[in-house]
Amino acid sequence: MSAPVGGAAAVGGGAAAPAGDWTADEMMSVAAARALEDGTSCFVGIGLPSTAANLARRTHAPRLVLVYEAGAIGAKPARLPLSIGDGILAETADAVVGVPEMFNYWVQPGRIDVGFLGAAQIDRFANLNTTVIGGDYAHPKVRLPGAGGAPEIAAGCGEVIVIVRQTPRSFVERVDFVTSVGHGRGPGDRERLGLRGRGPVRVITDLGVLEPDPDTCELVLTALHPGVDAEQARPARARGDGGGAMTAPPERREVVR
């Protein structure tokens, strides 16, 4: 189940893409794709997680089982879907199930190995906010889409990988609203809350990779993407310098446009 730390190892030994021929977002998707092991199952949200999971399936993980919350299990889309419910997902799936079945039979009992989540805000324990920013709940400054499947994915999947662009607005001391629980307020919180998956094991940004410290559960910078230094890649208040680990630059076959 566990993938190489920080996606720091090159996966296929394939030809590197020419330097500068990829963007920070592409590096983030590539690092996220590499974190998915062949033969595992992955609950996929739309956007960056979907891009990364499809990239993994087309490169090193052809037997990766993609699970989309609209009800497609084992989807094999030939093109990137725009929504989690594109027809191509149902047409290519091993099984198509309703929403209650998806959450009750597949997510809740821990039958999905990896959950991929994004967020508007993330704190140092990798708790995630996709609900409201600023103001009070009834009249927020910014109303975000809300929870969707994320709270149960965060609770029930074997482990969680978070993909988020690193900005001062996204990495905050405390999230304005806990939509999905990462490691709560620290060690033991997940067990106390009855959350059975391991929670976030890795946070992949456009600059590097963070992982929870095994003792404190606080996110620590464990790898840098090529061309990025630790000062840039370390969110405010976070520890770590990457320990000399650098994500291998994208290979040619990993940069798909």
Residues with catalytic function = 69
The alpha-carbon radius of gyration of the chain (Å, integer) is 17
> 80 or 245, CB closer to other proteins?
80
Of positions 41, 59, 121, 131, contacts other proteins by CB under 8 A: 131
Q: Which stretch binds other proteins (CB under 8 A): 24-32, 136-144, 203-211, 214-222?
A: 136-144
Considering the rule CB under 8 A, would residue 189 count as an interface residue with other proteins? yes
Interface size with other proteins, residues (CB under 8 A): 53
What single letter denotes the amino acid at residue 211? E
> 1 or 142, CB closer to other proteins?
142
Of positions 15, 19, 78, 138, contacts other proteins by CB under 8 A: 138
56 φ, ψ to 5°? -60, -45
Q: Interaction with other proteins in 69-128: which residues (CB under 8 A)?
A: 69-72, 82-87, 89-90, 96, 98-100, 103-104, 107-108
Q: Interaction with other proteins in 52-71: which residues (CB under 8 A)?
A: 69-71
By CB under 8 A, name the binding residues for other proteins: 46-47, 69-72, 82-87, 89-90, 96, 98-100, 103-104, 107-108, 131, 135, 137-152, 155-156, 177-181, 184, 189, 193-196
